[in-house]
Structure 1
Amino acid sequence: MSKNNLDTDVLKVAMYLRLSQDDEKYDKGFKVESNSISNQRLQINDFIDKNEDMELIEEYVDDGYSGINFERPAFKKMMEDVITGNINCIVVKDLSRFGRDYIDSGRYLQRVFPSLDIRFIALNDNYDSYTASETEKNLVIPFKSFINDNYCRDTSAKVRSVCKVKRKQGQFISNYAPYGYEKDKEDKHKIVIDKEAEYVVRKIFSMKLEGYSSYSIAKHLNDNGIPSPMEHKKAKGIRYKTGFCTKAVAKWDTPAINRILTNEVYIGTLQQGKREKINYKLDKVVSKDKSDWIEIEDNHEAIIDPHDFEIVQKLLKCDIKAKTVGEKADLFSGLLFCKDCNAQMTKKVDKRGKTPTVYYICSSYNKGQDCSRHSIKQEELQRTVLEMIRHYIQYLGEYESVSEKIKEMEVSYELFQRVDKRQEYTKKSKAKFELLKSSLYQDLKEGIIAEEEFYDMREFYTNRIVESELILEKQSKEIARLYKKSLGNQNFLTGIKKYQNIGILERGLLVRLVDKIYVLEDKKIEIQFNYDETIEILDKLSSYTSQTPEIREVV
């Protein structure tokens, strides 16, 4: 039984007011000036003053809340007062102020309010539930609610479409620029380097390359009073909201460091559309598959060298944690592997003598798994690796003239594709199977093959053609990767030449030059260098151009 009674002498009125930024985009005819909270209040007060049987009990204001759902604080408070009997009449300026969701609006207007004897009045829609006909209640008002809902749905689809186009054009459409960047003052859809935070980003990547764990980097920044990304934005007067911060004053932590270390925005690549709302009615956001992201390379000025970024991604996948907080990781951490089982080598310390002996053994062997020790002393390893790096740097020097010749040639992507012979062989194989498949029907018609053989062979050739297409797709991606890498590494020799007379092995140089160090059972080592692939590319390009000296293509 409801506590409310519409036959009382004076109606206990609730004035409900709502306004949000969404209203402008959901309704083309919406005007902020005429729908402001103050104007809504003025119109409703004027209506109540003209009705002697109405008494304003409470004003409920949801300023800044969307009408797509009813998860609004003031609305919830009003419903509590409705349930307790403090209110028996609700007045709004129009139905869109009450809500824009067709289903929930209809549920309140046609079920909840009638069951509680609540009189509902929407002034601009000329609707009063106490005097409305059945046609108005069951047809007109639901139709108007549907129109309001339809505005949201259509506009949401249009907004998504426009945003997608802008992302593909390389326009930055997020509310906040990533740490290290800021929105261009002349064009809010472009980002430029934030000079105040640039050095911090460089420091984070530098420390990771030097062997510090992400936790140690965060501690270093906090100890030195470097403001976290949130505090930096606050200091610049930006009203920044994030779900990552749970404290009054945000500090650097491991997740924050890792987000920076893995964000390709710092190499000039703009990645957008990583997440999306389930639909226009729900605020829940879901992550999208990376293949569905919109990526624009060379979109803005980079802070970090792409080669250094690539090395950091590799190091993040390895166990490079130092045992003591703030201490660097081991010189070879994340780089040293067993040649036989490909497991990482484990660092050990023998303290039995006067001077502790540091050595490495296979981690699989250390866990009792099926592999041998592959033991090697740290001192011997350092000496051998240093000597091999010296020879490698000397070897790279021989490619300086080749590299300069290739740069002058301005190698195009089309030339690069021709140099790589893998696709040429795959295309020939695909063409062969297509020819064989096309001749099957003629062989069947002439009686050379039976009908069963025809279907079996057609299926076989079709599968081979599909496999060739998949291989071609993979090869295209690999060639594109190698081409991009060759462009990015064109000046690598200049940076390496300064280490020609290196006397001490440093981790910074080690991670830039070395991809993996393999330890064999006889204490021998093999090194896989980061530039081996680049040298192979230079060899191919040099060989191809020497065979075709007249070629000189422009990108």
Structure 2
Amino acid sequence: MSKQSVKITALYCRLSRDDEQDGLSGSIKNQQSILEKYAKENGFKNTRVFIDDGWSGVTFTRPAFTEIMELAEQGLIANLIVKDHSRLGRNRLIVGQLLEEEFDRLGIRYIAIMDNIDTAKGLSDIVPMQDLFNEWHAKNTSQKVRNVFKNKGMAGIPLTTNPPFGYMKNPETSKEWLIDEPAAKIVRQIFEMCVSGLGPTQIAKRLKSDKILTPTEYWNSIGRNCGNPPARQFNWCSDTVASILSKQEYCGDTVNFRSTTKSFKNKKKIERPQEEWQIFPNTHPAIIDRETFELVQELRQHRRRPTKSGIVSMFSGLLYCADCGEKLYYSVTNNYKREQAYFFCSSYRKNSEVCSAHYIREKVVEENVLENMRRVFRYVQAYEKEFAKQQMKCYGEEKQKELSEKRRELTKAEKRIKDIDLLIQKIYEDNAMGKLSDERFATMSMAYEEEQKNLKEAIPDMQAYLETETDKSEGLQRFIDKVKQITQPTKLTPELVHEFIEKIVIHERRYLDGKRYQLMDIYYNGVDVIRGLTPEEMEEAFQEHLAKRKINKAKTA
């Protein structure tokens, strides 16, 4: 038996999702039937069918086609037969290279039945034109698909094929998502661990040690086929955790157009900037409430890296230097007790001449924050109306002052732009009359134009700030509602700190009469700095409260 007779005649079938619209004529079954009949009638022996079902013609990394080329490199393929030339592919450059170089090098006879192409008889000059039309077809189809996706996405229909971990499609309508409770429970745990101060890597380690199924393992366990099971069980990675923590879909929103592809040929995913996303709120049940989600995003922006000992402080990422504005670094080692852990200015660490240390122990921060929080909470819970009135009064005075300053800056900038136009006109006239040299004119006009350019660039930001400044009362009411829901704290927890504290500004230590003082400004979420009342002030507020109650009772009597 000759070597040529044992070689394979490859009968290749390919069908993409776009080709399915051709109906029965383009089906895999119909292609296979035509190929087998042709091979039998024309005496081709040792036939073998290769099928790529659901693969686009613009890519050539298809499993079955790749197998054919690997066998060809081993000298095992004699013939490659397809129903029509477009089944081979729709990328004219690669198809041309295959026909003119690769098949000839590998000794493969290529036949496209319906297009009457047979490399044994030579290639017609019309074949390159067919390749061009096949590529145009792929490009046109791709554009149609993109338009359909765009219309669906703009209508608020989720574009993802599969819902995120924690959700499942409604069996009755695939456009609707339902909460998959076992998976949603894990999602909630992940968010809770992040709020408690853990980062993605630490969360992944904890999930792994607790033997929690990864998303792929869970989906496979409920019959949603996601490929082969991983080599290592419960092998959570930080990227998976970080992806879950960033998904706004868990708030109940549909988020479309997160990514795109470069072209119909290059399917590599490109992430879009967030301003190009289309977000449709409250389209499905929420797993995570919005406050928790926003808190996690804030925490992720100020990532808290563990020290070399692996310890993370609940205050990491929240402490700032009062003088240079930079964050304070956290320092703790295995050489001393946790009580000795401290924070210090990051600028000072890089260059001691730029700023001072602003050294403060973690224990001191914790004691001061707890005491301040207890006083504030006690005041809010006992005298809600008085607290709200006081905060709005302080806010009103401070904000009005700030807004007035911003308006003055805007007016000054707009006036300066007009003045510069007049100045440029004046120096132009002086130059034309010989009062100002060309060199001096060029230097002055360049400086004026640069100043004017900078002012024009700054004005939109000033205008946007003045237009979009929101009412403080909303944030204040949210703060009051949260405080009313909790009891007096006896101990600080990461959850409590991250829920209520926006930032803590640390001042440098000062000495007075031999005693050390160090100011600490605690900014609460939604209300900024709140000064806790002293016991004397608390008693005074209590007496005022009683007096108002007596007056109100007398009026209603």
Matches within 5 A, 1:283-432: 283-291=267-275, 293-296=276-279, 298-300=281-283, 301-316=285-300, 317-319=302-304, 321=306, 329-340=312-323, 342-347=326-331, 358=340, 360-362=342-344, 369-370=352-353, 374-377=358-361, 379-393=363-377, 397=384, 398-400=386-388, 425=408, 428-429=411-412, 432=415
Q: Offset of 1:110 from its aligned partner?
A: 3.3
Question: Which residue pairs with 2:145 in the alignment?
Answer: 159
Question: Which residue pairs with 2:522 in the alignment?
Answer: 528
Matched, 1:182 2:177: no
Corresponding residue SS for 1:516: strand
Matches within 5 A, 1:218-229: 218-229=204-215
**Alpha-carbon contact 2:295-2:499 (below 8 Å) kept:** yes
Corresponding residue SS for 1:333: coil
Measured at CA, do residues 504 and 72 of structure 1 come closer, stay the same or move farther in structure 2, by a change above 3 Å? closer
**Alpha-carbon contact 1:92-1:121 (below 8 Å) kept:** yes
What amino acid is aligned across from residue 141 of structure 1 in structure 2?
Answer: V
Q: Offset of 1:150 from its aligned partner?
A: 0.9
User: Following the alignment from structure 1 to structure 2, what is the Cα–Cα distance between the partners of residues 482 and 431?
Assistant: 20
**Alpha-carbon contact 1:16-1:91 (below 8 Å) kept:** yes
Q: Offset of 1:92 from its aligned partner?
A: 1.3
Q: Offset of 1:340 from its aligned partner?
A: 4.5
**Alpha-carbon contact 1:44-1:91 (below 8 Å) kept:** yes
**Alpha-carbon contact 2:262-2:269 (below 8 Å) kept:** yes
User: Following the alignment from structure 2 to structure 1, what is the Cα–Cα distance between the partners of residues 334 and 35?
Assistant: 85
Question: Which residue pairs with 1:46 in the alignment?
Answer: 37
Q: Offset of 1:401 from its aligned partner?
A: 6.1
Gaps in structure 1 of 5+ consecutive residues: 406-415, 537-555
User: Following the alignment from structure 1 to structure 2, what is the Cα–Cα distance between the partners of residues 203 and 157?
Assistant: 42
Corresponding residue SS for 1:334: coil
Among candidates 199, 217, 232, match of residue 185 of structure 2: 199
What amino acid is aligned across from residue 491 of structure 2 in structure 1?
Answer: I
With 469-478 and 201-210 compared, the bigger mean Cα shift is at: 469-478
Measured at CA, do residues 372 and 459 of structure 1 come closer, stay the same or move farther in structure 2, by a change above 3 Å? closer
Normalised to the residue count of structure 2, the TM-score between the two structures is 0.73
Matched, 1:92 2:82: yes
Question: Which residue pairs with 1:58 in the alignment?
Answer: 48
Gaps in structure 2 of 5+ consecutive residues: 394-398, 511-516, 531-557
Measured at CA, do residues 88 and 378 of structure 1 come closer, stay the same or move farther in structure 2, by a change above 3 Å? closer
What amino acid is aligned across from residue 72 of structure 1 in structure 2?
Answer: R
With 434-443 and 300-309 compared, the bigger mean Cα shift is at: 434-443
Question: Which residue pairs with 1:549 in the alignment?
Answer: none
User: Following the alignment from structure 2 to structure 1, what is the Cα–Cα distance between the partners of residues 352 and 413?
Assistant: 44
Measured at CA, do residues 346 and 167 of structure 1 come closer, stay the same or move farther in structure 2, by a change above 3 Å? same
Q: How many pairs are equivalent?
A: 502
Measured at CA, do residues 46 and 208 of structure 1 come closer, stay the same or move farther in structure 2, by a change above 3 Å? closer
Among candidates 458, 470, 476, match of residue 457 of structure 2: 470
With 369-378 and 494-503 compared, the bigger mean Cα shift is at: 369-378
**Alpha-carbon contact 2:18-2:141 (below 8 Å) kept:** no
Matched, 1:258 2:253: no
Q: Offset of 1:421 from its aligned partner?
A: 5.7
**Alpha-carbon contact 1:344-1:363 (below 8 Å) kept:** yes
What amino acid is aligned across from residue 519 of structure 2 in structure 1?
Answer: I
What amino acid is aligned across from residue 509 of structure 2 in structure 1?
Answer: E
Q: Offset of 1:529 from its aligned partner?
A: 1.1
**Alpha-carbon contact 1:372-1:521 (below 8 Å) kept:** no
Question: Which residue pairs with 1:140 in the alignment?
Answer: 126
Q: Offset of 1:361 from its aligned partner?
A: 4.8
Corresponding residue SS for 1:491: helix
Measured at CA, do residues 115 and 265 of structure 1 come closer, stay the same or move farther in structure 2, by a change above 3 Å? closer
Measured at CA, do residues 499 and 34 of structure 1 come closer, stay the same or move farther in structure 2, by a change above 3 Å? same
**Alpha-carbon contact 2:256-2:278 (below 8 Å) kept:** yes
Q: Offset of 1:338 from its aligned partner?
A: 4.6
Matches within 5 A, 1:113-132: 113-114=103-104, 118-131=108-121
User: Following the alignment from structure 2 to structure 1, what is the Cα–Cα distance between the partners of residues 204 and 6?
Assistant: 61
**Alpha-carbon contact 1:436-1:461 (below 8 Å) kept:** no
Q: Offset of 1:156 from its aligned partner?
A: 2.0
Corresponding residue SS for 1:202: helix
User: Following the alignment from structure 1 to structure 2, what is the Cα–Cα distance between the partners of residues 229 and 263?
Assistant: 14
Question: Which residue pairs with 1:494 in the alignment?
Answer: 481
Measured at CA, do residues 139 and 345 of structure 1 come closer, stay the same or move farther in structure 2, by a change above 3 Å? closer
**Alpha-carbon contact 1:278-1:286 (below 8 Å) kept:** yes
User: Following the alignment from structure 2 to structure 1, what is the Cα–Cα distance between the partners of residues 72 and 186?
Assistant: 55
Question: Which residue pairs with 2:536 in the alignment?
Answer: none
Measured at CA, do residues 194 and 490 of structure 1 come closer, stay the same or move farther in structure 2, by a change above 3 Å? farther
**Alpha-carbon contact 1:390-1:500 (below 8 Å) kept:** no
User: Following the alignment from structure 1 to structure 2, what is the Cα–Cα distance between the partners of residues 217 and 268?
Assistant: 23
User: Following the alignment from structure 1 to structure 2, what is the Cα–Cα distance between the partners of residues 114 and 449?
Assistant: 76
Corresponding residue SS for 1:527: strand
User: Following the alignment from structure 1 to structure 2, what is the Cα–Cα distance between the partners of residues 179 and 261?
Assistant: 11
Q: Offset of 1:287 from its aligned partner?
A: 3.6
**Alpha-carbon contact 1:350-1:357 (below 8 Å) kept:** no
Measured at CA, do residues 420 and 121 of structure 1 come closer, stay the same or move farther in structure 2, by a change above 3 Å? same
Q: Offset of 1:146 from its aligned partner?
A: 1.2
With 276-285 and 187-196 compared, the bigger mean Cα shift is at: 187-196
What's the RMSD between the two structures over aligned residues? 4.5
Asked which structure has the greater RCO (Cα within 8 Å, sep 6+), the reply is 1
Measured at CA, do residues 4 and 226 of structure 1 come closer, stay the same or move farther in structure 2, by a change above 3 Å? closer
**Alpha-carbon contact 2:156-2:254 (below 8 Å) kept:** yes
Identity of aligned residues (%): 26
Measured at CA, do residues 340 and 86 of structure 1 come closer, stay the same or move farther in structure 2, by a change above 3 Å? closer
Question: Which residue pairs with 1:543 in the alignment?
Answer: none
User: Following the alignment from structure 2 to structure 1, what is the Cα–Cα distance between the partners of residues 341 and 214?
Assistant: 39
Corresponding residue SS for 1:55: coil
**Alpha-carbon contact 1:201-1:260 (below 8 Å) kept:** yes
Q: Offset of 1:381 from its aligned partner?
A: 3.7
Q: Offset of 1:221 from its aligned partner?
A: 3.0
**Alpha-carbon contact 1:208-1:214 (below 8 Å) kept:** yes
User: Following the alignment from structure 2 to structure 1, what is the Cα–Cα distance between the partners of residues 52 and 36?
Assistant: 17
